[in-house]
Chains A and B, each alone.
Chain A
């Protein structure tokens, strides 16, 4: 922390939470800048949550509105659950970024604009008739207008780099300025740069200089008068790291592979926003993980099914459109009673929809989207770090119960990050499997061997005496041979449902956060967790009678969910879809619920939940 000595001339102010949004052209390195700020804040000890948002076009025209990429972070000295409501600070590297994000900035918020890009052409591309930095259009905000480009060129002039290369360090200037404003150390970014550009010392040098230039600009210029201190957050003791949801999910799978002591195969097909799971796992070859990039989504799931049939922990991952393609094969996995984990990192639909935007609209698909009576276990992760636990639990259920399990994540969780308390490896539950070691006298491939789990044995090829045939045709409940018997079919349909029902015996009961009864219960699932929890906390702080139940287990629901729900006068279900959980809750418990739909590609923010609660109950 050698380089954070404050200039005595300036004031400092203590604040408990701050939200910054970095926005610029796709080529401006905003994701990297945001990630650096997050890592630094995480190591510093703040609680934080992040929300990257990038265009689905690989490279939209430079300076255009479609090409704006952003990264939002909320960091705090208190516990937080979301990347923040409205940004306090907007870093706008060009006019398009300002245009797209200004409406979200809070009143009196700070704009840090890179004037170098506010030229006529860029202003035109962004649809500004005149330069917003001149005139009084932004008079309700605090504007720090800096020609970052000129200052960077000046700072780097001794290195002798071409102008184009120097320009690439402009984002590091912005980062340095924010490091000064929020009293962050620069060390971890320096370490990152040294690692990333190992072979190019001049680039390390240039970027470090740019960070420092930004920092010193903050210290010396009159444009900035105050810097802010956000102290460490109190968190449970442990070792932490900052982690994105897709990464946590991949690690959860690796851990389950170890915990189950089975060969591990992940089969996937490239699709946004799930591809990162494939990329991450592909790097872990020394864990003897097989990653298989299949020719299509169907091949990915069917290869995984083949691997499960042969005795592997088999996982396939995708997003909504890919899930649609896999649905016939999921029926096979259900029918053959094979362990399989299917991850759906949801994105905006229908069809190709909004590939880089978040949505929770694949819940119905997960619950019922297959031909025939084809129930599957469905779990949903609620935060980036929770993706680890959810993935692990899914593998555990799949293997112990001999059933396919769907894990729902989404773009917001997959790409968002938060501090994660790294679990103790030895504390992870062991996963016991149903593998048959040798053929006994009465071996029957499809007989239920554990009533509690409704599990059949896992008789894999290669063991003498266990040869048998199974498939997607209806099977005899004991031998697994093809059966067209009417009563057997009905029995098997019931059995497949019962296999799901018994999972409720192992999952925790639902418990309301707040009070056990009251005027309003906010019921959520998946990635709305943070916004709901914060919104409910704010309402409760005002004395409103509101509680929160968040579902990880969607099929089956916790055993007592019905009893918990009836204790509240009203139930509100916020969802990033048109009321899909609401429909299942109504159907299952015959109670009415209020839907709060939001389906604009962006996650809920706490104030929306808070306002909705107020709208229903009125302020206390």
Chain B
């Protein structure tokens, strides 16, 4: 986001709707994500020609076709690498990656690691529906153990992947999580991703209506959603439950769910969320997969580091300052030369 140029006319959602017919299945969570992105973007005050959506392969990777921005629908797993090239070539662009759990955690895992580690200012929207949708229902790296799918008629034998913990391990500087159907929260997270300078990793739990319906039902339906959503807010105690009557407390280095109505614990005993605390981020990442704990949503971790592209250009500027602009004539004549008459 190097050029936050004011846009002459006030943009609206319509500006970001392309002329293509959206072809996801009716009831797919992707619709909601698309709509939140289209609502969030006009608020950024940025000319829309500066946005680029890069995607790989999968249902989620059709995303660029439906955004009236620049879009590049590439090949399976490589969107993060393509996006890296786009950003290196033109750091003034706002580059977004739309990807899924198969696309970026299975075939594209390597590129995702290295994008996170390099910290280019690119925003990743990871649509996690815990299934392969486009290829019609095989288990994905995030499918729960034992899941029956087309390719695992006797149940999967693989333990699921923890995307947030993976991102943290790859030195990610921004890790957040949201839900397709929690529109307001999702839009906030999209905006926070945009505002973060560096690679932002936003995991969005997304419902695949056809092949993995209701995978996140416990996080979405009342009343159980209140018991299962832990909405993280920076510098706020970790409260959850219908009446905010529960919280997370640390018992030594172990998190613990406590009931504030019991009289034994008060809000003062709870962990205060600090998105800059990496140790805490570790705990929050693990919490996701611990039974009897709510699922953390919001910004799990954020850290400010130089972006890769800034450093690349800094090195070039330094070289120019030291040696002067490269002179081709001189370069070709470098070293020993001799004249033939």
Say whether, besides A240-B340, A295-B113, A286 and B320 are in contact (CB < 8 Å).
Answer: yes
Question: CA of A304 to CA of B110 in the docked complex: distance in angstroms?
Answer: 17
Within 8 A of A (CB), among B96-113: 110-111, 113
Say whether, besides A43-B336, A254-B328, A425-B328, A295 and B73 are in contact (CB < 8 Å).
Answer: no
Within 8 A of A (CB), among B35-89: 47-55, 64-65, 67-75, 78, 81-89
In the complex, B188 has a CB within 8 A of chain A? no
In the complex, B339 has a CB within 8 A of chain A? yes
In the complex, A298 has a CB within 8 A of chain B? yes
In the complex, B315 has a CB within 8 A of chain A? yes
- Quote the shortest CB–CB distance from A21 to chain B (angstroms): 23
- Quote the shortest CB–CB distance from A262 to chain B (angstroms): 9
Say whether, besides A290-B312, A290-B316, A310-B93, A422 and B85 are in contact (CB < 8 Å).
Answer: no
In the complex, A482 has a CB within 8 A of chain B? yes
Of A240, A312, A336, A473, which is within 8 A of B337 by CB? A240
Which A residue sits closest to B23, measured CB to CB? A482
Residues of B within 8 A of A45 (CB): 338, 340
Question: CA of A421 to CA of B86 in the docked complex: distance in angstroms?
Answer: 37
In the complex, B90 has a CB within 8 A of chain A? yes
Are the CB atoms of A286 and B328 closer together than 8 Å? no
Per-position contact with B for A288-325: 1 when CB-CB < 8 Å, else 0? 11101011101100111111111110100000000000
Are the CB atoms of B338 and A265 closer together than 8 Å? no
Interface residues of A, count at CB 8 A: 70
Are the CB atoms of A290 and B88 closer together than 8 Å? yes
Are the CB atoms of B74 and A302 closer together than 8 Å? yes
- Quote the shortest CB–CB distance from A323 to chain B (angstroms): 16
Question: CA of A251 to CA of B328 in the docked complex: distance in angstroms?
Answer: 9
Are the CB atoms of B48 and A302 closer together than 8 Å? no
In the complex, B268 has a CB within 8 A of chain A? no
Are the CB atoms of A254 and B331 closer together than 8 Å? yes
Question: CA of A331 to CA of B57 in the docked complex: distance in angstroms?
Answer: 15
Are the CB atoms of A238 and B340 closer together than 8 Å? yes
Question: CA of A302 to CA of B338 in the docked complex: distance in angstroms?
Answer: 41
Q: Which of A130-138, A460-468, A546-554, A574-582 contacts B (4 or more CB under 8 A)?
A: A460-468
Residues of B within 8 A of A298 (CB): 78, 81, 111
Question: CA of A96 to CA of B333 in the docked complex: distance in angstroms?
Answer: 39
Residues of B within 8 A of A42 (CB): 336, 338
In the complex, B304 has a CB within 8 A of chain A? no
Central interface residue in B324, B337, B340, by most chain A CB within 10 Å: B340
Say whether, besides A302-B85, A306-B85, A481-B20, A469 and B337 are in contact (CB < 8 Å).
Answer: no
Are the CB atoms of B339 and A239 closer together than 8 Å? yes
Per-position contact with B for A442-471: 1 when CB-CB < 8 Å, else 0? 000000000000000000111111111111
11 of the cross-chain contacts (CB-CB < 8 Å) are A43-B338, A45-B338, A239-B339, A240-B340, A286-B320, A288-B316, A288-B325, A310-B90, A312-B85, A329-B78, A425-B329
Q: Which residues of B contact A (CB under 8 A)?
A: 18, 20, 47-55, 64-65, 67-75, 78, 81-90, 92-93, 110-111, 113-114, 312, 315-316, 318-320, 322-326, 328-329, 331-341
